[in-house]
Amino acid sequence: MSAPSKAVPVDRASVGLRSERGPVLLSLMVAMSVVALDSTIIATAVPSVVASLGGLSQFPWLFSAYLLAQAISIPIYGKYADVIGRKPIVLTGIALFLIGSIGAGVAWDMTALIVFRAVQGLGAGAVQPMSMTIVGDLYTLRERAKVQGYLASVWGMSAVVGPALGGVFSEWVSWRWIFLINIPLCLLAGWMLWARLHEKVQPRDRKPVDLGGAFLLTIGCGLIVLGLLEGGQSWAWGSPVGIGVFVVGAVLLVVFGIVERHAADPVLPLWVIRRPLLVSAGMTSLVLGAVTLGFSSYIPTFAQTSLGAGPLAAGFALATLTIGWPIAASLAGRMYLRLGFRVTALIGATIAVIGTGLTLTLDIDASLWHIAAFCFVIGLGLGWVANPTLISAQNSVGWSDRGVVTGTNMFARSLGSAIGVAIFGAAANSVLDGRTDGPAVADATWTVLLLVAIFAVIMLVSAFGLPKRADTVERANA
């Protein structure tokens, strides 16, 4: 699809909710709101969940199971979306998220809740990447500069509404409603997409489904991500289990690479990890995932333990990051059309480096306002990195490969989150050394923030590999 002529203005009326494609855009916003809200609403409810079901030692798996299931499923969904179309995949994702939400809402113990959180993760692995892929199908590069504002607003509202709803449900109703509220949202999103999204799957030769490759990729990546998430927590890094999961995972991925060379229609074409643009975009997304997890995992604990803030106040302080992000994302389109993908991402990465540097001034005498301000700056920077990184990768391929490219890029971000959890957790534990007092947590958090700042610098360097001009890849693909 070629870019529209510069002489033809692209305004919100032509691409907004009242346009011909508006109903589909609204459907995607509702679908994305399910995942966005779930990612912010659960954090403030964890104490209530543990008080109701017990299993304090198991509660980290509420997050690990979700992240693991989401990460390993993204590449598979991306590939099959290029074969059978986006609509069946996104509807499958919504259905899985609905099932997982119902099960989590009626969970009878912590083990059941963890299992249903994993089902939610399998659903989220389809919903978010497919929504972004569908947007790439429906809108040209110039149009997406406007559409991104609508999508970004979903995350901005969820950042504010999520923590508040989580606190309200936990304190005055029941924590179970943080999951049950997804039921009407899933039903509405599924019905709207079923009725409004009409796609024409591009014809291609039907080849044998690469089930072997899908199995090897899922299990291999699953073991690697599992090892990163649970190493140093559920088992020691140097233990037989800690080493074994990485060894077996690596062997399966090597076998996967061999299988893909001979597959008639590989689930993950090896050219995805050979093209310089895609490698740079993937590396940038990976580091971005690590930076994001560093703050979302440790800032709330620092605010509550070292500064004495309540869980709701700490959640809102962190929420400024997810408010700054969509604000920047909504403006990123105009920037990359004028300045190019590379310059826009470099500006964002530079702001993120400055923001992470500012967090190194935080100590036990800091205020929540300092945290909120610094997180907002970092969110602005990340918003200007994430959009051009993903869109430059999408625009470098046609319809038949856009799903797998989008999935691979978002998988890199999930993998980066897992890597960040592992590195930051090991660093924090080495400083804490079994202590949980405020000064100790402050020292551990500072160490994590130093590592986050280093990752931000790596993100800045990797962004140099993005294309200079925003229209270069689209012209090449026209």
Measure the CA–CA gap between 224 and 411, rounded to whole angstroms. Answer: 13
Q: DSSP label at 273?
A: G
Same domain, 238 and 367: no
Measure the CA–CA gap between 68 and 117, rounded to whole angstroms. Answer: 10
Domain-embedded: residue 13? no
Domain-embedded: residue 298? yes
Measure the CA–CA gap between 181 and 370, rounded to whole angstroms. Answer: 33
Residue 320 identity: T
Positive or negative torsion for Cα 385, 391, 397, 402: positive
Helices (H), 231-310: 240-262, 276-305
Helices (H), 54-176: 61-84, 86-105, 110-138, 141-172
Measure the CA–CA gap between 350 and 385, rounded to whole angstroms. Answer: 10
Count the alpha carbons within 13 Å of 113 in the hemisphere toward its beta carbon.
Answer: 27
Greatest CA span in the chain, whole angstroms? 64
Same domain, 333 and 426: yes
Burial zone of 238 (CB within 10 Å; 0-12 exposed, 13-18 middle, 19+ buried): exposed
pLDDT at site 43: 65
Same domain, 274 and 132: no
Burial zone of 252 (CB within 10 Å; 0-12 exposed, 13-18 middle, 19+ buried): buried
Domain-embedded: residue 344? yes
User: Which residues lie below 8 Å from residue 217, measured CB to CB, with a gap of 6+?
Assistant: 72, 75, 76, 253, 256, 267, 268
Residue 246 lies in domain: 208-264
Q: DSSP label at 466?
A: S
Domain-embedded: residue 1? no
* HEC assignment per residue over 456-472: HHHHHHHHHHCCCCCCH
Distance set, CA 198 to CA 107, 140, 201 (Å): 36, 18, 10
pLDDT at site 7: 41
Q: Give the position of tokens 């001034």.
A: 361
pLDDT in tens, 441-468: 888 889 989 999 999 999 999 999 888 7
Looking at residue 188, which CATH number applies to its domain?
Answer: 1.20.1250.20
Measure the CA–CA gap between 69 and 77, rounded to whole angstroms. Answer: 12
Closest CA to 359 of 228, 460, 287, 455: 455
pLDDT at site 89: 93
Q: At what angle do helices 276-305 and 399-432 cross, to 10 degrees?
A: 40
**DSSP-derived 3-state class of residue 231:** strand
Q: Give the pLDDT of the chain (478 residues) as one tens digit per residue.
A: 333 434 445 555 566 677 778 888 888 888 888 888 887 777 667 667 777 777 655 666 777 788 888 888 888 888 888 888 889 999 999 999 999 999 999 988 888 998 999 999 999 989 988 988 888 888 887 887 778 777 777 876 776 677 777 777 777 878 888 899 899 999 999 999 998 888 777 665 556 667 788 888 888 888 887 887 777 777 888 889 889 999 999 999 999 888 888 877 787 777 888 888 889 999 999 999 888 877 777 777 788 778 877 766 776 777 777 788 888 887 888 888 888 899 999 999 999 999 999 999 988 888 888 888 998 999 899 989 988 888 888 888 877 788 888 888 888 888 888 788 778 877 887 887 777 677 888 888 899 899 999 999 999 999 998 887 655 544 444 4
Measure the CA–CA gap between 113 and 56, rounded to whole angstroms. Answer: 13
Closest CA to 135 of 399, 471, 474, 408: 399
Domain boundary among 264, 279, 300: 264
Domain-embedded: residue 2? no
**What are the tokens at 299?**
């800032």
pTM (2 d.p.): 0.78
Measure the CA–CA gap between 284 and 434, rounded to whole angstroms. Answer: 34
Cα 302–chain centre separation: 23
Domain-embedded: residue 48? yes
Measure the CA–CA gap between 454 and 447, rounded to whole angstroms. Answer: 11
Closest CA to 467 of 333, 344, 353, 283: 344
Domain-embedded: residue 6? no
User: Which residues lie below 8 Å from residue 262, measured CB to CB, with a gap of 6+?
Assistant: none
Same domain, 162 and 66: yes
Same domain, 259 and 304: no
pLDDT at site 5: 39
Measure the CA–CA gap between 133 and 384, rounded to whole angstroms. Answer: 19
Same domain, 256 and 282: no
Same domain, 454 and 366: yes
Same domain, 43 and 170: yes
Domain boundary among 176, 198, 220: 198
How many structural domains is the chain composed of?
3
Measure the CA–CA gap between 88 and 210, rounded to whole angstroms. Answer: 18
Q: DSSP label at 308?
A: -
Same domain, 361 and 424: yes
Same domain, 65 and 116: yes
Same domain, 40 and 146: yes
Closest CA to 463 of 354, 288, 345: 345
pLDDT in tens, 409-431: 888 888 888 788 778 877 887 88
pLDDT at site 407: 82
Same domain, 300 and 444: yes
Residue 389 identity: T
User: Which residues lie below 8 Å from residue 12, measured CB to CB, with a gap of 6+?
Assistant: 146
Distance set, CA 281 to CA 226, 344, 397, 401, 464 (Å): 24, 13, 13, 16, 10
**What are the tokens at 28?**
């995607």
Domain-embedded: residue 421? yes
